[in-house]
A and B are shown apart, each in its own frame.
Chain A
Amino acid sequence: MLSTRVITCLDVHNGRTVKGVNFVNLIDAGDPVEQAKLYSNLGADEICFLDISATNEKRRVMFNVISKTAESCFVPLTVGGGVNDIKDFKDLLSCGADKVSINSSAVYNPDLIQLSSDKFGNQCVVLAIDAIENFKMKSGYEVTTHGGRKKTNLDALDWAIKGEKYGAGEILLTSMSADGTKSGYNLKLTRLISENVSIPVIASGGAGSPKDMVEVILKSGASAVLAASIFHFGIHSISSVKKEMFKNGIHVRDCGF
């Protein structure tokens, strides 16, 4: 039976892990290479790096972070942030990333989804969708880019369906209004997307407790859960999340709990 994945996300700024509430007020939460190793030893099913560096020079630091992580961390690595073209894909994959997530660049250049999926296979193309409530949209949700700062006038559901059609292998769905609040995932949004695409949907944004993670799996049909803050600051461990999931009948990968 396929285990439901628990994915830890490390937001990396200039080579250091940070995590802020609603993407501002960044707090340094450590060295990403060491953290990735630790999480992998503690039972994380995947590690996700999101590079939020502002400049291209600083972004080069990320290649070093990925190479070092891939040398000692033998679980899948997803990397996103600032991926603009096929060359970025190639560079990240050759450093040791297994999947690349694209967000703004896919919105402004949807061809990138198809190009990258044709070249590297859809299993390594993760379409990251940052959605916010907007009742003017047909589905009630609008796609935003640039960490939630820019609106796109794209309907989140339409975009998810298109993304799958263009060749994305997975959708990383973040509710921007819930992100960093620790008040639970957006169940309505997650269910809306996962019921209407046939590729896996990773629920992200809002995890505050193991119960939130159980809830989003049982009530929204997500294939995996992703969280950052609750793990970084030792509020909850990966094993306590998996224990709670297991108790609620969700099959997880054993991590010695």
Chain B
Amino acid sequence: MKIVIINYGSGNLKSVENALKNALLNNNWHYSINVTNDLHHIKNSDFILLPGVGAFPDCKQGLLKTVGLIETLYEQVINKSKPFLGICVGMQLMVDKSLEKSLTFGFGWLKGTVERINCKGVDYLGRGYKIPHIGWNNLEIDQRDHPLMKNINQQEQFYFVHSYYIKTEDRKEILASTKYGHTIPAVIGKDNFVGVQFHPEKSSNSGQKFLSNWLSWKL
């Protein structure tokens, strides 16, 4: 099996690669990992991972710098149904559009708009909701029988760091959510593609379980 991590100038590639390597090693799976923006490698891959750190418009701009990259992703993920995982801004890119900084269009694979987290009031300790939403938060799993939720407990904690979230009315595409003042979709997906708002590569053993589920996803 061949995994590609799409390299389009977004940070944290090393962390994602390290975490995948560890999950492969623990499961004794011998997949190759290629960090690349080479369309040929992407076409030859079995698993596609799109990381993303920073602002939505900058990430979109980074993707556009490689001519044909977004089209190749569409062809490989939507037409050829390869298992796809988007992390953080990589997840947000999967929906229609983002309002971060300015209106920017996403891939439109799922319905939704990326908007700034808007928490009024105070938390249970009387503290104001700080933005970014940084830290470990509980997962409320909506689709317990989804293969990517295997061995993951209701309320298990994952590491989040973001100021924008996906606002969507489409409940059936939300696999799990988290709460920070209001509900935030934490795992969204359809068919062969999923996106996570948290960072599985930084979520210790819980993240490792999630990555193992993705790597063993049989479609």
Contact = CB atoms under 8 A, between A and B. Distances in A.
A59 to B, nearest CB: 19
A93 interface: yes
Contact of B136 (A5, A40, A94, A199): A5
B123 A2 contact: yes
B91 to A, nearest CB: 15
A253 B205 CA distance: 12
B54 A120 contact: yes
A12 interface: no
| Interface size grouping (class) on chain A | 35 or more
A253 B136 contact: yes
A169 interface: yes
B80 interface: no
A148 interface: no
Given A75-B204, A93-B12, A123-B132, A221 B126 contact: yes
A74 interface: yes
Contacts, number: 113
15 contacts: A2-B180, A3-B137, A3-B157, A67-B14, A71-B21, A72-B18, A76-B199, A96-B18, A123-B134, A170-B134, A195-B128, A200-B130, A221-B125, A221-B128, A223-B130
A198 B22 contact: no
A1 interface: yes
B133 A2 contact: yes
A254 interface: yes
Contacts of B124: 1, 249, 251
Contacts of B11: 93, 120-121, 124
